[in-house]
Structure 1
Amino acid sequence: MRILAWVAALICGLNLVIGKVFSWLAVGIVLVCFTVVVQRYLFATSHVWMQDLYVWMNGAMFTAVAGFALLRDDHVRVDIFYRPARMRSRAIADLLGVLLFLLPFCWVVYTYSIPFVVRAWGYGEASANVGGMPGLYILKAFIIAFAVLIALQGVAMAIRSILVLAGRPDLVPALMQYSTDQAPVGTHEEAA
């Protein structure tokens, strides 16, 4: 069980580092977009490569931080049943969700994106816009990174569920503890 907890902690650490690094692209996106607007409306000039740049930065950021968002539980979820549920019920829901939906989705994205990305790298695909940025193939590789990072975080979630269901919530990495503030009032998570 400790090895599983270590693997989950390693995955969470990876997504944490990647998430914190790539989230800084948001600042770059704002600065580049602001520069494009100022150039266009104050100086009546425009550079297509700068427009490509902030769109590509946005795509890179959102695909790279998807695993980090899953780690932080920031993805959209209907919490009608999940939020008030006990830790054990959440673990079952997470395990089923990961095995039935998340991992198959990641597999489909990965499988169908490989030929798309390989083709882009094969001919060094660049922007379709005249005067646009080169290196679109690099951005397309982020599709694979998205599938891998979110699948890895799904594996960490499955491990968390297994640890909880095995009666070892103490081994769950601190980064992915179930929050106790969402438990029904007057209940104890351990009693679930």
Structure 2
Amino acid sequence: MLLTLANKFVQTIDMITELLGKAVAWLTLLMVLLTFSIVVLRYGFNLGWIGMQESVLYFHGLVFMLGAAYTLKHDGHVRVDIFYQKYSHKQKALLNLFGSIMLLLPVCIFIFFISVNYVMSSWQIMESSPEAGGLPLVYLNKSLILLLAITLSLQGLAEITRNLLILFQDLPNTKNTAGAK
């Protein structure tokens, strides 16, 4: 029963992360098209708008902050694979478990708590761009910091659970419920 609940938890978080990753992929395409449009308008027609240029920065923030959990799920973060590549499946799970508990979650918790006042003060004043013609949504952009910490923490918890399932999958009276990465 506990293994079933753990598996369901991992599947739910993975599904949310996948949906977010697909949304980010489309945002990346929009960001590229917007950047192309800015270049064509500026150098082809001598036109430019600060708000349009700032929107590319907002898209960058969305892509990188919301794409971090997706990257973690797909094991796409930078890693030194000198030893890791030779480890067994269980050794990798143990190392990933240790890294998630000792590094990932503490960093996410730190980022969240260190950023709360920064983001809240931005919301209180409804912070907008200091540039004339800039976007009046700086407070939303700063909120991505908190969303990064939340989504990365949730995926980190799913990874911890997945690695625990891998480590305990060979116990008697249990099924192989862990999904391999």
Question: Which TM bucket (shorter chain)?
Answer: over 0.9
Aligned to 1:185: none
After superposition, give the CA deviation of every residue in 1:52-88 in whole Å (9 maximum; x if it has no partner): 0011111111101110110011111111111121011
CA distance in 2, matches of 1:10, 1:138: 26
Q: 1:50 & 1:27 partners in 2: Cα distance?
A: 16
Amino acid corresponding to residue 47 of structure 1 in structure 2: W
Match of 1:55 among 54, 57, 66: 57
* Equivalent residue letter for 1:93: L
For the pair 1:100 / 2:102, whether they are aligned, the reply is yes
CA contact (8 A) 2:128 2:137 kept: yes
Identity %: 31
Report deviation, 1:167: 2.2
Q: 2:133 aligns with which of 126, 131, 141?
A: 131
Are 1:25 and 2:27 matched, yes or no?
Answer: yes
Q: Which residue of structure 2 lines up, in the alignment, with residue 183 of structure 1?
A: none
Give yes or no for the alignment of 1:121 onto 2:123. yes
Give the match for residue 170 of structure 1. 176
Aligned to 1:189: none
Secondary structure (helix, strand or coil) at the match of 1:45 reads: coil
Which aligned segments of 4 or more residues in structure 1 are displaced greater than 4 angstroms? Answer: none
Structure 1 gaps of 5+ residues are 179-192
Q: Distance in 2 between matches of 1:89 and 1:153?
A: 20
CA deviation after TM superposition for structure 1 residue 170, in Å: 2.3
Q: State yes or no: 1:160 paired with 2:162.
A: yes
User: Which residue identity is paired with 2:123?
Assistant: W
CA–CA distance in structure 2, aligned partners of residues 138 and 68 of structure 1? 21
Equivalent-residue separation in structure 2 for 1:129 and 1:84 (angstroms) = 53
Letter paired with 2:94? I
| Candidates 139, 144, 149, aligned match of 1:147 | 149
C-alpha RMSD of the superposition: 1.2
Matching residue of 2:92? 90
TM-score of the superposition, structure 2-length normalised? 0.93
Q: How many residues align?
A: 175
Question: Quick one: distance in 1 between partners of 2:176 and 2:26?
Answer: 33
Deviations for 1:144-191, whole angstroms, at most 9, x for unmatched residues? 111111111111111111111112582124xxx23xxxxxxxxxxxxx
Unaligned runs of 5+ in 2: none
Distance 2:148 2:17 in 1: 11
